[in-house]
Structure 1
């Protein structure tokens, strides 16, 4: 959101609207004012961390609950994160962690995933080891942290190994071929059995029968293209448009593949 428009937006926004804001767009007094105005309207704040603010400075914003989104590229000292998330959590401000680098067997996240409400990871830039993904998803499950994986490229059968409760796997249908359809449906079915959730972003035209099979197996569908009212798919789109992913199941915006 543009810097100059934010106070006007807060005046017009309905209660419980969501505000996504970067902490380096404002100085600390300005942020405190924005948070104060947001508290009056019960606005849900997602604060995107740039590494600019210290733990003490972030602590001055905890007079109203907010969600703190950080990453391994911004906060490289994991022990600092342990302390910071503890300060925030004590004030009911929960932290969300995005892993942008390649997951390694000695990555610090394996030591304490429970300090985060959700852990996000993607293979957009770095290939991720399936065994390490499975290890982290299981550890997140045991500690009560949501695990969200954005998979780019051809879907793999090993994805089902991550399908624990509290696990969300996002795929775009841009990478699907007809030969993948049964695999995707099976993945949705296996994740449902284990308590996980497959999320498919419908970014191009698909056959109604395929989408209906996914929907019947509890695959969450996000339609990013308009659907004609006369199409059989319209009823499916309308159904899934009414359903909302919980905050911890996506990184900042539900319709984007991170």
Structure 2
């Protein structure tokens, strides 16, 4: 593949494993690393584990999921390879958290081991109901593995999120689903403060605006505010808050691949 097909001006390139052949991806990972950039490779299950291992050793960050069909042993091999090159392995669990048994590829126990072994885990309750106790143990194992659990919560904020915050999870919520009543806002403020104290954070995706004083309180508590609405008029009080919020930079491991998406 011609180098011109990959824009070298961007420090980070996102690429699916079915967009190029193995050797082109390997060369790009090495080239990005030499130029001080990164390759973020999305694992769609096309490459073998040995091929992915070579790519990880070359400095790429791998974004995989249960849809790629990787076994627990695969995650262990890839995590070790990434660790040698300073890379990252991120796994998004779309499906349920199941006990070990016949036909279960990635059980809850396997995911706990992966988190403890340096794999960054991400989950959402958008399509699967999540039990607080399962998320809590994953958050704890991730912290022990020098990683953090990333959790995308859809719907009204729940008190259970405070427990995840205490255990150092990165928690994403949407303003569209969080509500703007006082109890919900007070709960979000507590979650933001607890997550910040544990070395992580609460990320609020603003598809709609809530009152500026409430957002100011959440920002003061440590929340990360991501505005997904058009810029405010220069006379708007949101303008100063938006500028201030943009200076609070998210840890790249706080989100799966793209910070803008509420998964």
TM-score when normalising by structure 2: 0.87
Note the residue ranges of structure 2 that are not aligned, 5 or more in a row: 101-107
**Taking structure 1 as reference, are residues 166 and 18 closer, same or farther at Cα in structure 2, changes over 3 Å only?**
farther
Which residue does the alignment assign to 2:7? 10
**What is the aligned partner in structure 1 of residue 39 from structure 2?**
45
- Match among 213, 218, 234 for residue 214 of structure 1: 218
Contact 2:132 2:160 in 1 (8 A): yes
Q: Does the aligned pair in 1 maintain the 2:29–2:38 contact within 8 Å?
A: no
**1:121 aligned to 2:123?**
yes
SS of residue in 2 equivalent to 1:19 = strand
Answering whether residue 205 of structure 2 is matched by residue 201 of structure 1, we say yes
For residue 243 of structure 1, the aligned residue among 222, 225, 248 is 248
**Whole-angstrom distance in 2 between the partners of 1:142 and 1:60:** 27
Pick the aligned partner of 2:25 from 27, 31, 36: 31
Classify 1:160/1:74 alpha carbon distance in 2 versus 1 (closer, same or farther; 3 Å).
same
Q: Out of 173, 176, 179, which is 2:175 matched to?
A: 173
| 1-structure distance, mates of 2:66, 2:224 | 28
Give unpaired runs (5+ residues) of structure 1. none
Of 147, 155, 158, the residue aligned with 1:156 is 158
Q: In structure 2, how many angstroms separate the alpha carbons of the residues matched to 1:26 and 1:9? A: 11
Aligned residues: 252
**Matched-pair contact (CA < 8 Å) for 1:163–1:195:** no
Please state how far the C-alpha of 1:57 moved relative to its aligned partner.
Answer: 1.5
Residues 62 and 89, structure 2, Cα contact 8 Å, conserved in 1: yes
Q: 1:58 to 1:139 in 2, by over 3 A?
A: closer
CA distance in 2, matches of 1:25, 1:46: 13
Query: Does the aligned pair in 1 maintain the 2:75–2:114 contact within 8 Å?
Result: no
Distance across 2 between alignment mates of 1:76 and 1:40: 29
* Root-mean-square deviation over aligned CA pairs: 2.2
Deviation, 1:152, is: 0.8
CA shift for structure 1 position 9: 4.8
Given that residues 117 and 146 in structure 1 are in contact (C-alpha distance below 8 angstroms), is that contact kept between their aligned partners in structure 2? no
Structure 1 residue 85: Cα displacement = 2.2
Q: CA deviation at 1:175?
A: 0.6
In 1, distance between residues paired with 2:194 and 2:79? 33
Q: Is contact 1:20–1:46 with CA below 8 Å preserved after alignment?
A: yes
2: distance between equivalents of 1:47 and 1:253? 13
8 Å CA contact 2:139–2:167 kept in 1: the answer is: no
Aligned equivalents of 1:114, 1:18: Cα separation in 2: 27
Please name the residue that 2:142 is paired with: 140
What is the alpha-carbon distance in structure 2 between the residues aligned to residue 202 and residue 86 of structure 1? 37
Is 1:232 aligned to 2:251, yes or no? no
Residue number in structure 2 paired with 1:57: 51
- Counterpart CA distance in 2 for 1:61 and 1:137 is 28
**CA distance in structure 2 between the partners assigned to 1:236 and 1:184 by the alignment:** 18
